[in-house]
Amino acid sequence: MTPLEFRDPTRARELRQALDRVVSEIGRSPVAVMHVCGSHEQAIARFGLRAAFPKGLDVIMGPGCPVCVTDQPEIDEGVALARQGVRIATYGDMLRVPGTAGSLADAQAAGARIDVVYSVAQAVDLAHETDEEVVFFATGFETTAVATAAVIAAGVPVNFSVLSAHKYIPPVMEIVAEMPGTRVEGFLAAGHAATITGSRIFEPFVARHHLPVVVAGFEPLDILAALVKLTEMIRDGVAEVVNLFPRCVTPDGNRHAQELLWRVFQPIGGRWRGIAHVPNGNLRLRDEWAHVDARQRFRIDVAALWNGAPSTLVRQCICGNIMSGIASPHDCALFGNACVPDAPVGACMVSSEGTCRIWHEYGGIPELGEPTCRFCQ
């Protein structure tokens, strides 16, 4: 079978060798770069790329998984609405993410009605089929927020509303770049988010922080090539935006999608789980869409879930430092005690690819050996 164009192991080997060479030319160790995208982490994990990176290169998983960074109070709003008897439609990976008083899956077990959907359009279909109120619990970055915006702008049934926990990526890169003691020397930017925003959106960031940014796709060769380019810029002291995903991303992005996004949503500040308060990091519905805003339509009684006060555990979480590569899970007082895979506190324990989750399951990052497995042919 011919390998897919961007999954050719031979070309991957060449890129790995190039990456080894550039990292050793930089001449200090470790060189730390960050990606800010759950799909990049997925691809890195799925194709076993992490074990193939040079020893002197830290590819840090930044705050790029929208599910992981959805904050507990936001989950609580969804859970509270569900427990109030409102039918909730949401993406599958939101079900198990815990709030302060359980997850949506817990609410479902207690009798609440939760529908898993693949798209906001499916949630609208659900609303068409019933007279009941259907609330779409909307999560994801600008890529999925645009889909939500498009549906809202096109008009939705009267029994349909949106509880937005959408997030906006560019501001959190500023937070990470400005964290005291940060080791991050360059960023891989998410290709699909950049199809909306365009690659040019990162130019002011690059100018401000003098850190290179490479817009990267999601196949193994995309990621390896992007890392080669990023480390070359670090080696040469160059800080530029380079778009290595031109088959999807243009400098200006999708203008129509941007127009839709900002017509429906406005950015406001808010907490990202285990990271920080991110100015302009949360997307909320603009006032003119109040009639489809679940926060306006329902009285969401979150306090009832908290028995008066929200959990204080989250304040002890050091996910932000772990994600910035400043701390390891063993520096965290909650790790393995109050924070475990079944009851995670921070983002790094929520995701199956999160640093804390992997450390918890395997007592560190196990050495797996080189890819040599051709005994089967």
Distance CA 32, CA 212 (A): 12
Least distance from another protein to the Cβ atom of residue 368, Å = 4
Residues 111, 105: contact at Cβ < 8 Å? Answer: no
Q: Which amino acid is at 305?
A: L
Comparing CB distances to another protein, the nearer of 26 and 105 is: 105
Least distance from another protein to the Cβ atom of residue 73, Å = 20
Q: What burial letters (b/e) apply to 339-354, b meaning 16+ CB within 10 Å? A: beeeebbbbbbbbebb
How many residues does this entry show for the chain? 377
Comparing CB distances to another protein, the nearer of 104 and 241 is: 104
Least distance from another protein to the Cβ atom of residue 202, Å = 21
| Residue 36 burial by Cβ neighbours in a 10 Å radius (0-12, 13-18, 19+) | buried
Comparing CB distances to another protein, the nearer of 29 and 122 is: 122
Least distance from another protein to the Cβ atom of residue 282, Å = 16
Comparing CB distances to another protein, the nearer of 269 and 341 is: 341
Least distance from another protein to the Cβ atom of residue 44, Å = 9
Least distance from another protein to the Cβ atom of residue 203, Å = 26
Comparing CB distances to another protein, the nearer of 9 and 85 is: 9
Least distance from another protein to the Cβ atom of residue 38, Å = 4
Angle CA 40–41–44, to nearest 5: 85
Distance CA 260, CA 146 (A): 7
Distance CA 7, CA 221 (A): 6
Residues 327, 336: contact at Cβ < 8 Å? Answer: no
Closest CA to 346 of 326, 302, 316: 316
Provide the token pair at 206. 């690059």
Q: Which residues bind another protein (CB under 8 A)?
A: 9, 12, 38-39, 42, 45-52, 65-68, 91-93, 95-96, 105-106, 108-110, 116, 118, 122, 139-140, 144, 220, 340-342, 352, 361-362, 366, 368-377
Comparing CB distances to another protein, the nearer of 77 and 93 is: 93
Comparing CB distances to another protein, the nearer of 271 and 357 is: 357
Distance CA 239, CA 51 (A): 27
Q: Which amino acid is at 49?
A: L
Distance CA 10, CA 84 (A): 56
Comparing CB distances to another protein, the nearer of 107 and 206 is: 107
Least distance from another protein to the Cβ atom of residue 326, Å = 24
